[in-house]
Chain A
């Protein structure tokens, strides 16, 4: 690509949401006819940036230039008119339509008020031939696999005349050979002079396909590299993504006892299509031990937790102490003394339109102080809610307010307090301090550490690497549903952990 035409230039993009700055001073230059990767951790601001480029959200500040001319997008149709196409991570196809119908849906060719399928068919087969996207136009989408569906999404975008394609985490749903096929397609598109913007956090893949890589960290662009001309490793990229902050040193006292509290053997969870989201994993946690699972979100963490709680169907065996609980109900597992802090607190852990004291009962409705036999004990629940509010510093004027009236951090404190109640033997926790302020975070850590001292076993999933390293006795790295590495929390750095999480190499 000798000509140095910029297909896309973003300059000084800012985007603020109430309480959060999603993008701050983003600068991005994408050369025409290249594959340009944008990498960054979850929550780094990649999605917001792409939504701005695709006209779904408006930047507070900054300019967007396409092929050298400055444009203002107020809706995706403006972006489409400018030749930008978006291939979403979650496909938007009608299952009961054919490939052809899906591609023309929304921009149907008409002649005299009737659909002109012959013309559409011709156009589509031309586009498909040019770009090496072989698909049968008359097959129903419901009969196609994930890789084919993605090709249709790409065709759909090309049919609308896109010259600049945005692919949002396109490999997240693909198996390895499908990834190879996708990359071949992208190389063909590049040959045809199209520009591809490729969003990902899988560094090995990015290095194999991208002509240029821009790294985003905490909402801002921290640098660009050209893997063809510069020596750059996945590890270098990971360091750029994670930054150079070192973890706050924490004393790791040895509290691990001999008794195995949780033993998991050959656990697998399958998606609807049969793809293994959790792939044959085994591990155990002893009393007084905190096992941390590091991994980029969406690599199977939520499914492991749900499977351990009996919410999601899984294969393999799970032992709690000596009891095989693989087939036991969620309620039985909770009654054994397993506390659970799920990933999505508002959907899974709270009744938003119920008062705090009723939320205190949730998940513990069969136990003291919330009930006696078949009868509820509102008085006991209320008294204990007051205790939690006090001990965990839940900021609320009363325990009668609805859960929805609390801020996210205070909701989280209530949940942590609840799950630590009733002397649990095992705590399964996802992001226990997500959204809470720094002071409360330290308090929650102390609660967990004290309980560990008393013999609590903890399975900890967190996106906060400092939290993982600081709390865990043992660390495992999860990638695509498998444990790919072990790390020693005493010596590992967040950079090393971040590198391992993206599949770029082994942690220390």
Chain B
């Protein structure tokens, strides 16, 4: 029974991948490109040590973002505000880290905590609005995204927090090397893999443990499966909303840190601001399961990284964006179909097993 469940949960993404690859091939044929050349060149580049290092680094960011989204998803809470939460978290982390002259461990701990608290606080606004005022978290978190971007621009452009970092770009003061988490060159000597890669693995395991092995996790999953049944079982829904949103925001607060501490050392106006939306897509792909999310993040990062290769083949790089979109849609649909079939087939197999038992008796 369990083997079958694992089989069916792998079936959906496999179908999704296959269909979206086929659809992409059709698009490539329509625009007159050679399907085999494009795919093989993406694959060849994507599997080179340098590209794989870049891919894992980007996937680390995506993984954290998707994890933040999926904590909410697990109880049907839609945190669309990961963007706002992580940019504020990263900014706060950058400001604090750049003013610390402590040993690396201490400095990193403080930076992480600050980013998590800021992310959680920003998400907490949406949680409070939902509990106290009944405002849909979808609306409030989207609005809070815009507000966060506005606040950051103001702080960096108008206050003394922002300085001219380089080449006419304003950003926060550079973080001293003791406060950075550069990483280790495992695959490619010139491209280290972020230290955060390993931290995010720990966070992924902690997420799994929290959800599947703690009472809190049970309450959270129960609420997601049936809010009324959870309430009847003694779950206080308002408290759950607040705690879950704060947790989601705390993880979201970390999303910008791999890049900040592994690469830039400054939060500038050029810092990417839309990783949160990527996280939503990957959470859907990974079905809110940390392992699934990790695979989804790697796939997504692979398509991002190897899309540069498309231009060399004379194909617009947007093809990879189309592929990403296709994968999400097809996978979500096939999950749903597989899930329904699973429920039905389980009902029939239970009925069959029981009639057999009865026949023996």
Query: Footprint of B on A, CB under 8 Å?
Result: 309, 311, 329-335, 340, 342, 347-354, 358, 361-366, 371, 374-376, 378, 395-398, 400-402, 404-406
Contact = CB atoms under 8 A, between A and B. Distances in A.
Nearest to A362: B233
Contact of A351 (B214, B222, B234): B222
A397 B232 contact: no
B214 A376 contact: yes
A365 B229 contact: no
Contacts of B235: 331
Chain B: number of interface residues, binned into ranges? 20 to 34
A365 B226 contact: no
A351 B229 contact: yes
B1 A398 contact: yes
B324 to A, nearest CB: 28
A199 B347 CA distance: 37
Contacts of A371: 215, 218
B293 to A, nearest CB: 20
Given A347-B226, A376-B217, A398-B1, A406 B232 contact: no
Contacts of B343: 353, 402, 404-405
Contact of A365 (B218, B225, B231, B353): B218
B287 to A, nearest CB: 13
Given A397-B350, A401-B350, A350 B236 contact: no
A342 B232 contact: yes
A348 to B, nearest CB: 4
B217 A309 contact: no
B274 interface: no
B234 A363 contact: yes
A355 to B, nearest CB: 9
B159 interface: no
Contact of B229 (A335, A348, A366, A376): A348
Given A398-B1, A406-B350, A366 B215 contact: yes
B309 to A, nearest CB: 42
A362 B1 contact: no
B1 A334 contact: no
A375 B232 contact: no
A349 B229 contact: yes
A353 B225 contact: yes
Nearest to B339: A353
- Kindly list the 3 A-B residue pairs having the minimum CB-CB distance in the complex, ordered from nearest: A331-B234, A397-B353, A363-B233
Contacts of B354: 395-397
A362 B350 contact: no
Contacts of A330: 231-234, 236
Contacts of B226: 347, 350-352
B357 interface: yes
B99 to A, nearest CB: 36
A362 B223 CA distance: 11
A347 B233 contact: no
Nearest to A333: B234
Nearest to A363: B233
A348 B232 contact: yes
Given A402-B343, A405-B347, A366 B234 contact: yes
A400 B233 contact: no
Contacts of A331: 233-236
A378 B214 CA distance: 10
Contacts of A358: 218
A374 B214 contact: yes
A354 B225 contact: yes
A309 B350 CA distance: 33
A362 B212 CA distance: 14
B120 to A, nearest CB: 20
Contact of A376 (B218, B232, B233, B236): B218
B222 to A, nearest CB: 6
Nearest to A361: B218
Nearest to B353: A397
B304 interface: no
Contact of B215 (A348, A353, A374): A374
A169 B2 CA distance: 48
Interface in B211-262: 212-219, 221-222, 225-226, 228-236
Nearest to A332: B234
